[in-house]
C-alpha cells in the first residue's frame, strides 16, 4: 500500500521544482555531508490591507472591494451594487485610475513583470496576474464574492505583483462573464465598475 504514496510523492517533486514561488535550500550537516534539500515558498508579511470604492460607468457608487494580505497572496472581498443580474468578469488592472465612463485609464491587466502572459484561468498558456474568478450578481443587482489570488499582493517583495506600486492598480467589473480562455479578456465585454486600490 506504500507504493502509490511514494509514486505520488515523486510526481509532485518535479512540479514543485517548476514553481517560481518556491526555492530550494541545501544545508550541510556537522559531519560535512549534504542534508536533504528543503522547499521554501516566498512568503509575505501578513496584515497589510487595502480598499477600493467601486464606481459605476454612470459615476454612481457601486460598492466596495477590500484586500487582506496573507503569507502567499491576497484575499479580496467584493460587495457590489447596481449591476445587471448574472455573471461578471472580475480583474485586477495595472494602473490605479478609474476615469469613466469606460475606465480605459486603468490600462491592461496586471502582468507577471515584463513577461506577457495570455489571459485566462483555464488557458493552458495563462493565466495573467490580473485574472480572477467571475462575480455573480443577484436579481437585486447586488453581488458578493471572496476570492484569493497568489499572483498579486499588497506587500512589496512578497509573492505576486505588487498592487500598491508607483502607478497603483485597480479592480474592475465587466458587463459579462469571463470564459477564462479567449483573448484578451475572456469575452467579458465593457468595463462597468472600477475601483482604485489604496492602502489601508
Domains contained in the chain, CATH given = 2-41 (no CATH), 49-199 (2.60.40.200)
Give the pLDDT confidence score for residue 41 in this predicted structure.
Answer: 65
Average pLDDT over residues 23-36: 50
In angstroms and rounded to an integer, the radius of gyration of the C-alpha atoms of the chain is: 20
* CA–CA separation, 90 and 189 (whole Å): 11
Enter the pTM of the model.
0.76
Give the pLDDT confidence score for residue 23 in this predicted structure.
Answer: 42
What are the φ/ψ torsions at residue 15 (nearest 5 degrees)?
Answer: -65, -40
Average pLDDT over residues 60-67: 96
Of 123 and 86, more confident: 86
pLDDT in tens, 136-162: 999 999 999 999 999 889 988 778 888
Burial class (CB in 10 A: 0-12, 13-18, 19+), 197: buried
* CA–CA separation, 190 and 187 (whole Å): 9
| 89 Cβ contact list (under 8 Å, min separation 6) | 134, 135, 173, 174, 176, 177, 178, 185, 186, 188, 189
Of 69 and 22, more confident: 69
Give the pLDDT confidence score for residue 112 in this predicted structure.
Answer: 61
| 42 Cβ contact list (under 8 Å, min separation 6) | 21, 22, 23, 158, 159
Average pLDDT over residues 63-89: 96
Q: How confident is the model at residue 115 (pLDDT cuts 50, 70, 90)?
A: low
Give the end-to-end CA distance of the chain in Å, rounded to a whole number: 51
Of 198 and 113, more confident: 198
Amino acid at each position: 500500500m506504500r507504493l502509490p504514496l511514494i509514486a505520488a510523492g515523486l510526481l509532485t517533486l518535479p512540479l514543485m521544482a517548476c514553481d517560481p514561488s518556491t526555492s530550494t535550500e541545501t544545508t550541510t550537516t556537522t559531519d560535512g555531508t549534504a542534508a536533504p534539500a528543503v522547499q521554501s515558498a516566498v512568503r509575505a508579511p501578513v496584515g497589510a490591507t487595502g480598499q477600493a470604492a467601486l464606481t459605476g460607468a454612470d459615476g454612481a457608487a457601486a460598492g466596495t472591494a477590500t484586500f487582506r494580505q496573507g503569507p502567499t497572496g491576497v484575499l479580496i472581498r467584493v460587495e457590489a451594487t447596481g449591476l445587471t443580474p448574472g455573471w461578471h468578469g472580475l480583474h485586477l488592472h495595472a494602473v490605479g485610475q478609474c476615469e469613466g465612463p469606460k475606465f480605459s485609464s486603468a490600462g491592461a491587466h496586471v502582468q507577471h513583470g515584463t513577461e506577457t502572459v495570455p489571459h485566462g484561468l483555464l488557458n493552458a498558456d495563462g493565466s495573467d496576474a490580473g485574472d480572477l474568478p467571475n462575480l455573480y450578481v443577484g436579481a437585486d443587482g447586488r453581488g458578493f464574492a471572496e476570492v484569493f489570488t497568489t499572483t498579486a499582493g499588497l506587500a512589496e517583495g512578497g509573492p505576486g505583483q505588487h498592487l500598491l506600486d508607483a502607478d497603483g492598480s485597480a479592480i474592475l467589473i465587466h458587463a459579462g462573464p469571463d470564459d477564462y480562455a479567449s483573448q484578451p479578456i475572456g469575452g467579458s465585454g465593457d468595463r462597468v465598475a472600477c475601483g482604485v486600490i489604496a492602502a489601508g
